Amino acid sequence: KNEVEQSPQNLTAQEGEFITINCSYSVGISALHWLQQHPGGGIVSLFMLSSGKKKHGRLIATINIQEKHSSLHITASHPRDSAVYICAVLTDKLIFGTGTRLQVFP
Amino acid sequence: GAVVSQHPSRVICKSGTSVKIECRSLDFQATTMFWYRQFPKQSLMLMATSNEGSKATYEQGVEKDKFLINHASLTLSTLTVTSAHPEDSSFYICSAWRQPNSPLHFGNGTRLTVT
């Protein structure tokens, strides 16, 4: 079993839909990162969390340390949100989830 | 925002040659840089952690003599793929942070093709 599990693996949505991507982990962490990787390969760091909730534009990330779970929400999704979203936890090193491939159709 | 520059973005080399990939933090000093490999449709795989002025820490299964990492300054780390083989063809990405528990900044990756 992977130390970091993401769900779903693939997600399709219509433009405007509310999207949730989940990340569960089984190890003690000092921080959790949400990353976005576009088809060209470039990776952007969206959030770094150690507790609570963060919001940036249409993106919201939450983390529950006791439950070892984090969610990434996208409100009013848009085709430009289509990407792979990766959760990574920081222990003594970075451990990556397998990613969630999101496609948003107009 | 902080920028990490990775070069080259694409490289094709012949089997048996060596290829060097550079990762630079342009507007901050990176105490630690990370090197990853990514296979098609898979997530990132951490290869090694590079701290300035010390030897890199390699993940299990990554050959130190094949993937040489040098972190000579706080703004530059290099990954050299030595005696490249076709199975080394992959997407290599670096990232850097100012300090632990600070945001991660990624390079745009290098697509290596070994013929």
Distance, CA of A94 to CA of B48 (rounded, Å): 10
Question: Could you tell me how far CA B115 lies from the centroid of its own chain?
Answer: 20
SS3 A60: strand
CB distance from B5 to chain A under 8 Å? no
CB distance from B98 to chain A under 8 Å? no
pLDDT tens-digit readout, A67-91: 999 999 999 999 999 999 999 999 8
At position B8, the amino acid (one-letter code) is: P
Q: Which of B44, B57, B92, B102 is best to mutate for the A interface (most A CBs within 10 A)?
A: B44
How confident is the model at residue B23, as a pLDDT? 96
CB distance from B109 to chain A under 8 Å? yes
How confident is the model at residue B54, as a pLDDT? 82
Cβ–Cβ pairs < 8 A, chains A and B: 54
How confident is the model at residue B1, as a pLDDT? 59
User: Is there a contact between A31 and B95 if contact means CB atoms under 8 Å apart?
Assistant: no
pLDDT by residue for chain B (115 residues), tens only, comes to: 568 999 999 999 999 999 999 999 998 898 889 999 998 888 888 999 998 878 899 999 999 999 999 988 889 999 999 999 999 999 999 999 888 778 889 999 999 999 9
CB distance from B34 to chain A under 8 Å? yes
pLDDT band at A1 (very low <50, low <70, confident <90, very high): low
Q: Which helix (H) or strand (E) holds A52?
A: strand A52-56
B105 contacts in chain A (CB < 8 Å): 45
Least confident of A6-20, A32-46, A48-62, B7-21: A32-46
Are A89 and A29 in contact by the 8 Å Cβ rule? The answer is yes
